[in-house]
Amino acid sequence: MSRQIKLVIIGDGAVGKTCFLIMYAKGEYPQEYVPNQQIFLLFISVFDNYTSTVTVNGEDILLSLWDTAGQEEYDAMRVFSYDNTDVFLTCFSVNSATSLENVERKWVPEKL
């Protein structure tokens, strides 16, 4: 049985989180921007998830890649995806000083 590692990608909206995961998991770049919308219904959350298998020192590892919406309206719900996370990948846009400032101001404290 493969070991599984859960990675959750976080950061402001529209910084490229979804594109990064799609490029890694599928090897293709999305041709159009579709904002990641999380759907919450009766406390059931639906997140965009991708998987990829990597081999490290001869061991297969299943990467479970969780995409999250960075928009403020999802702040209260997004943290439900954080349970049992092994790796947080925090993203920002080089074109947005605010998104970089939010790494320290918002994203690092949120996952702690």
The pLDDT of residue 35 is above 60: yes
Which of these, 62, 61, 79, lies nearest to 70 by C-alpha position?
Answer: 79
- Evaluate if residue 2 carries a pLDDT over 50: yes
CATH number, domain of 43, equals: 3.40.50.300
Q: What is the pLDDT of residue 34?
A: 60
What is the reported pLDDT for 40?
Answer: 39
Give tens-digit pLDDT for 73-100.
Answer: 777 888 888 999 999 999 999 999 999 9
Contact 36, 45 (CB under 8 A): no
CA distance 104 to 25: 27
Confidence label for 69 from pLDDT (cuts 50, 70 and 90)? confident
What average pLDDT does the structure give for the chain? 85
Q: Is the pLDDT of residue 42 over 80?
A: no
Looking at the structure of the chain, the number of domains it has is: 1
Rounded to an integer, what distance in angstroms lies between the CA atom of residue 79 and that of residue 56? 29
- DSSP letter for 105, please: I
The residue range of the domain holding 29 is 3-111
Greater model confidence, 61 or 49: 61
